[in-house]
Amino acid sequence: MAAVFLVGCARLGQSEAGTGEQPAGATQLQAPSYTVMCDEGADSAIVCSVDHDTYTGWGQYTKYCAGCHGSSAFGTERGPDLTQSLDTNIDYFDIHFVIMRGRHSPEGDMPSWEGEAEVVNQIDQIYRYLKARADAVLPPGVPNRTKQ
Ligand code: HEC
């Protein structure tokens, strides 16, 4: 069966790129990339293999974030669609900031995860998963297998 092989490559945020400073929790200056391999025409992640970090990110996202942002990150009434956010206004650096600080607005509260080591230590992995979703490289659903 034919397979589509894609490696994501995100660009640096404009404003932060100039300072050379990393936000708390960021482990690298460049946004980490994901590797996703799906059967052709896949409309569910069940036929996709992802790299280990992206798979871990999916697991952490599911545990800590999906309750508000939805199981495939399309959003719910409790939290916005993150596939839109990462496609438009939220980059690798912003996501660290929002996760660490939280955010409060009339639309709802995004909790701070500063005290939750499992989240803080795996923001890069969560980013990989969400970026693959936002780039529409990884379809909705549970990734089936991990690529070695
Ligand atoms: C209790 C519900 C809740 C949980 C759990 C939650 N969020 Fe949120 N999140 C929100 C809400 C509500 C907003 C919108 C806040 C606002 O309007 O500024 C938001 C905003 C965000 C944004 C900014 C989106 C944008 O376009 O500006 C990101 C990124 C984000 N959340 C990521 C996460 C991640 C990653 C997790 C898991 C570690 C998570 N959230 C867990 C409710 C939640």
| Structural domain spans, the chain | 50-148
Q: Coil, helix or strand for 105? A: strand
Distance 21 CA to ligand 1 centre (A): 23
> In a mutational test of the pocket of ligand 1, which residue from 56, 64, 68, 130 has the highest number of ligand atoms less than 8 Å from its CB?
68
Ligand 1: which residue has its CA nearest to atom 37? 65
Instruction: Judge residue 128's burial from the number of C-beta atoms within 10 Å of its C-beta, 0-12 exposed, 13-18 middle, 19 or more buried.
Output: buried
Amino acid 11: pLDDT? 41
Ligand 1 close to Cβ of residue 66 (< 6 A): no
- Ligand 1 neighbour 102 (Cβ under 6 A): no
Write the residue with the smallest CA distance to atom 9 of ligand 1: 110
**Tokens linked to 132:** 């693959």
Q: Return the higher-pLDDT residue of 17 and 35.
A: 35
Burial (CB count within 10 angstroms: exposed 0-12, middle 13-18, buried 19+), residue 132: buried
Q: Name every residue whose Cβ is closer than 8 Å to that of residue 3 and which is 6 or more positions away in sequence.
A: 37, 38, 39, 40
Query: How many angstroms separate the alpha carbon of residue 128 from the centre of ligand 1?
Result: 16
32 lines ligand 1 (CB under 6 A): no
Cα(69) to centroid(ligand 1), Å: 7
pLDDT tens across 81-118, in order?
A: 999 999 999 999 999 999 999 999 888 899 999 999 99
Please tell me the pTM assigned to this model: 0.87
Looking at CATH, the fold of the domain delimited by 50-148 is given as: Cytochrome Bc1 Complex; Chain D, domain 2 (1.10.760)
Ligand 1 contact via 109 beta carbon (within 6 Å) = yes
CA dihedral 85, 69, 124, 29 (to 10 degrees): 20
For β-strands 48-51 and 145-147, DSSP reports them as parallel
- Binned at pLDDT 50, 70 and 90, residue 138 comes out as very high
End-to-end Cα, the chain, rounded Å:
20
Q: Do the Cβ atoms of 56 and 34 come closer than 8 Å?
A: no
